[in-house]
Structure 1
């Protein structure tokens, strides 16, 4: 059992495992505090999720000391201030630092010096490359590349012949050649929320209830950030296992692109429920999620005619947002049948770098 393992897989491996219900509102609250500490060490902080970020320490040596000293000071401040563990990876480039932070878990520091990058990366399996998922891993292995060293040693011509230009990019990353800079202003490309159920779910009303909840949550974050989305994506993970291991349950997505961009939970839910009824799984599922992409800046204004349906909905959403911000997302809920228990909840804001 390890971090990021689906809860149903953890239960299968360890039936006596005790699950504690998550508290996403509290996680978000604590995340803001952690990021405030991050920004006290560097102005260049690029958040990847609630609990993961890149910090650029370039030029801070005279003020803060060497990177390892800064990493230890950062861990100490988070622990002393918030009583939270913090894993720190230090490396010359982003991808290597991300892998190093994974090696430092659950509560440590791992530094890869510039001259150590090749030795650190070479023995790692190809799925450790940032953004390589199950499909990309299979594609690389089918071409004969099982480790980062296999990719690093391959000539560009061989990589292009086997995998096209994407293969050359994978080879470059496998050599530790990552030119991406820490970008504190990088815009999100999608917003999503999903949950894993404690048991297999086939009941359409239960799935629709989860979809409504996710749609409202995603809509609130779209409005908070002043953006709208024109594409709604429904995601599910089938309950039936088709292969061994934690990735043995197939994941499916269906999407619909609208003629106009939206930020209203009712509209997002309506699209997602239509996808569920028309293109949905038709079998028990373990996970259901809703996300929105194709984002545009919200430049809409309230109409001079306050009785219009659109403006009523907009004002209602603004009121709900204020109540939720003050009292939490459970303060207001739409009437529906009792929801089945959820073993895990995941909120995502995806930025430019995407996997398969």
Structure 2
């Protein structure tokens, strides 16, 4: 029997999702006395590497030259109008902090969730007598952002975090400010296609949904819930209700409650032809994934591992998963599973990208101890102690020996901010 979604019983909050347009590029333009909306500017990760990725492009550069985030440095035309600058992560973080201070003039800090350096959620429910409607508050914030920082922004408004985010991505980024209510779900959300335009649906889930005959959000909303749950587990339940615009998560919690995963993906700085060097990088990345899980007090049962091969050997790759009997956040446990998948699927080609994910998450405190591994609790506690040392003295205070080899990347990455050199 198909569940009936009764919107009258759902919370109707006033959530703003604020996105700074081309944030890195806008900050870089203003620092150089340029107009963020009219200049042709690209922020690039590393100016010394032709293959370095474009982190941000100004609106005019996107429009006039077709260069956008994800392009490579060598793809930028040799045109005197184009300004190419390196990333200045410390400056972007400083501006982001000041923007959060601006938000705090409208709502208490507990009503602000900084989703990323350039995107935030604000719960303005109950502030109508002070600032007016949610749309009026959005207009105030947008105007003050321009007056104070000369930075453009777009704001989506919705009754929950999910709807606010969808409104931002699918309408407000074009209009500046837009609001969606539950009444808009059939007309604005259900026609969405391709499915990847729906926040929270990636390429792998989209492919699986296509194989089930689902190509629009509306078709997802009308698909039998029990079949989605059979195919995707808990995620199937959430896909169904998100397709109806339903999200009961609290501000600051992951929008995909119950779908939490801890992942790390790394494009290597060079081709890795030696399998032993690949193992070194995998061990470093397992350490990072395990640390993220421990910091959240979580453990996971499913490890996903993938390799992408260099274009010099034909490209392609694999991505496979394996589920353990007991959830873990111990580095060695995750690494052992990755190595099992590595030996099973690796075809000895040159590697350029490594991806690792820990999912099927549960509370760490609820994980049962193994009767057959006396050292399990010691390994778990050791991980937390190492995390405390790194948090206090820096991420490079404790590194594995492999990080000091020519294959290691952790020592290099410890000097970065947001994955890029700080300036």
**TM-score normalised by length of structure 2:** 0.55
Cα distance change, pair 200–38 in 1 and its aligned pair in 2 (3 A): farther
Query: 3-state SS of the aligned residue for 2:338?
Result: helix
Q: 1:339 aligns with which of 407, 415, 422?
A: 407
**Cα gap change, 1:208/1:110 in structure 2, threshold over 3 Å: closer, same or farther?**
farther
Which residue of the partner structure matches residue 112 of structure 1?
179
Q: Which of 220, 236, 239 is the equivalent residue of 2:307? A: 236
What stretches of structure 1 of length at least 5 have no aligned partner?
244-248, 348-356
Of residues 191-200 and 74-83 in structure 1, the stretch that sits farther from structure 2 once superposed is: 74-83
Q: Aligned in 2, Cα 1:339/1:92: closer, same or farther, shift over 3 Å?
A: same
SS of 1:256's partner is: strand
Shift of 1:69: 4.0
Q: Distance in 2 between matches of 1:286 and 1:26?
A: 30
Spell out the pairing of 1:199-218 with structure 2 (5 A cutoff): 199-218=270-289
- Matched positions, count: 324
State which of 360, 373, 380 in structure 2 corresponds to 1:294. Answer: 360
Q: CA deviation at 1:221?
A: 2.1
Question: Greater relative contact order (Cα 8 A, min sep 6): structure 1 or 2?
Answer: 1
**Aligned residue for 1:134?**
203
Identify if the C-alpha distance between structure 1 residues 113 and 203 changes in structure 2 by more than 3 Å, giving closer, same or farther: same
Kindly indicate whether the alpha-carbon contact (under 8 Å) linking 2:146 and 2:152 is maintained by their aligned counterparts in 1: yes
Residue 268 (1) aligns with residue 337 (2): no
Q: Is the CA contact (8 Å cut-off) linking 2:107 and 2:123 kept in structure 1?
A: no
Tell whether the 8 Å contact from 1:28 to 1:50 is kept in structure 2 after alignment.
yes
Counterpart Cα distance in 2 of 1:200 and 1:105: 41
Q: Secondary structure at the match of 2:365?
A: coil
Please state how far the C-alpha of 1:145 moved relative to its aligned partner: 8.2
2:275 and 2:348 in contact (8 A); partners too: no
- Structure 2 gap segments, 5+ residues each: 1-53, 58-67
Q: Give the root-mean-square deviation of aligned CA atoms.
A: 5.3
Matches within 5 A, 1:307-318: 309-310=375-376, 312-318=378-384
Determine if contact 2:300/2:328 at 8 Å carries over to the other structure.
Answer: yes
Instruction: Please give the TM-score of this superposition, normalised by the length of structure 1.
Output: 0.64
1:246 match: none
Aligned pairs (5 A) from 1:83-98: 87-92=154-159, 94-98=161-165
2:138 corresponds to 1:71 = yes
CA distance in 2, matches of 1:330, 1:80: 41
CA–CA separation in structure 1 for the residues paired with 2:288 and 2:272 = 21
